[in-house]
Structure 1
Amino acid sequence: MTQTLAVDVNDDGLYTLSVPAEFEANGPFTVELHNHGEASHVYLNLDDRLSEVARIEATNHYLKENEQRRIDVATHDPSTWPDETLRGSLKVVVAHGQETRYVSVVLERAAETTTEVEVAPELSSPTVTEQSTEPTPLLRALPVVVAGSIAVLLAVGALFAAGGTQLLLGIGAVVAAAACGVAAYLLFE
């Protein structure tokens, strides 16, 4: 939860400021400007010490009559802070310097919190799954590849063979091709 620093503008008359003397936060916080009267310019500035760990996107704010506005003060990762506790000042100015107030700001590193996650008992141990005895698609395709390779080798051999062996090799190629067809049919059945 983000802490909020309330600043009242024009509450006790034109160009007046009402701010707390001190403000504590343990990380990013919000400055909430409440304009109770005429339109006014409000200027916010962090001193050098606070600027080491915090920043304000816009420092000059124009508030219309009776307007409220929230300004976020972002902080760096607390682990990068030079100290556990930082003290500095937030300068609040109204009407281009007509009224100036300083708020003593104390930033403390938030205690690191850990979040416990409850695990259901059935998820705490690994589950054993049955392994399939069916061969992988690559293994199932192996007979088709082997038979097809033999058919191609026999056909190439038939081209280079001479004489009566051509017929024998041709018949072997046809048988091998038929075997490939049967193997493919069985494979994808």
Structure 2
Amino acid sequence: MPASLPVELNRGRLHAIEAPVEFTSDGSFYVDLSNHGEGVHVHLHLDDALSRVARLGESNVFVAGDTTSRIDIVVDDRPSTAVSGRLKVSTGYGAETTNVDVTIEPLEEETQQVAVDESLSKPKPREPQQSAVSKGLAALPGPDALPFVVFVLLAVVIAAGAVYFVGASSPAVLVGVGVVIGGAVAALVYSIR
């Protein structure tokens, strides 16, 4: 939020001006004209030094009684070094005048530093590559599935025995054996997932 330069008007007597002797800002600011009496015309003027870096939003303003008016002073060009000059405030068509020494400071560049931990400069250790055998073993069902696997193997052995004893010439036996072996393979694949 821009800084505020307070100026009190008509406090104690008509056309009286009370303002700080000095004012410093690091950019645009505004003048708060607080009127404590009758309405008054106020004239603001920046000297040549301030006019090089700043401009008035309004130079002549009427401030109604018991109100406050805000006048913007916009700093267009950030100075690389401090610029000092005078802001003249006058009322009563120049009958009362006050000067405020204004300094516009250069904007300090904020240096943003990021803390870097030394561990960031070291590469992360690679995880060891798994061989195809270890990947295959990891895919096998765990010990909880052992009764299921035994049951599937037993069904395949019984089906193979039926083919051996009954003979492979019977189409009903071949279809039955195919269904049992297909179911066993499907069950094994499902249990591995």
**Normalised by the size of structure 2, how large is the TM-score?**
0.56
- CA deviation profile, 1:1-60 (whole Å, cap 9, x unmatched): 311000000012111000110001111011000000001000100000000000002100
User: How many Å separate the matches in 2 of 1:20 and 1:32?
Assistant: 12
% identical equivalent positions: 39
- 1:96 is paired with a residue of what secondary structure? helix
Report the Cα distance in structure 2 between the residues aligned to 1:111 and 1:3, rounded to whole angstroms.
Answer: 16
Runs of 4+ in 1 over 6 A off after TM superposition: none
Please report how far the alpha carbon of residue 112 of structure 1 lies from its aligned counterpart in structure 2 after TM superposition: 1.2
> Residues 12-161 of structure 1: matches in 2 within 5 Å?
12-78=12-78, 81=79, 83-114=80-111
Structure 1 vs Structure 2 CA RMSD: 1.9
Query: What SS is found at the alignment partner of 1:15?
Result: coil
Rg bigger for which structure? 2
Do the aligned residues in 1 keep the contact of 2:42 with 2:62 (CA within 8 Å)? yes
Q: Structure 1 residues 108 and 10 mapped into 2: Cα distance closer, same or farther (>3 Å)?
A: same
* Structure 1 pair 22–95 and aligned structure 2 pair: CA distance change class (3 A): same
What number of residue pairs does the alignment pair up? 116
User: Offset of 1:113 from its aligned partner?
Assistant: 2.0
Q: What CA distance in whole angstroms lies between the structure 2 residues aligned with 1:96 and 1:23?
A: 24
For structure 1, the residue ranges without an aligned partner over 5 or more in a row are 118-189
Unaligned runs of 5+ in 2: 115-193
Give the Cα–Cα distance (whole angstroms) in 1 for the partners of residues 77 and 63 of structure 2. Answer: 31
Q: Quick one: distance in 1 between partners of 2:76 and 2:111?
A: 20
Q: TM-score, with normalisation over the residues of structure 1?
A: 0.58
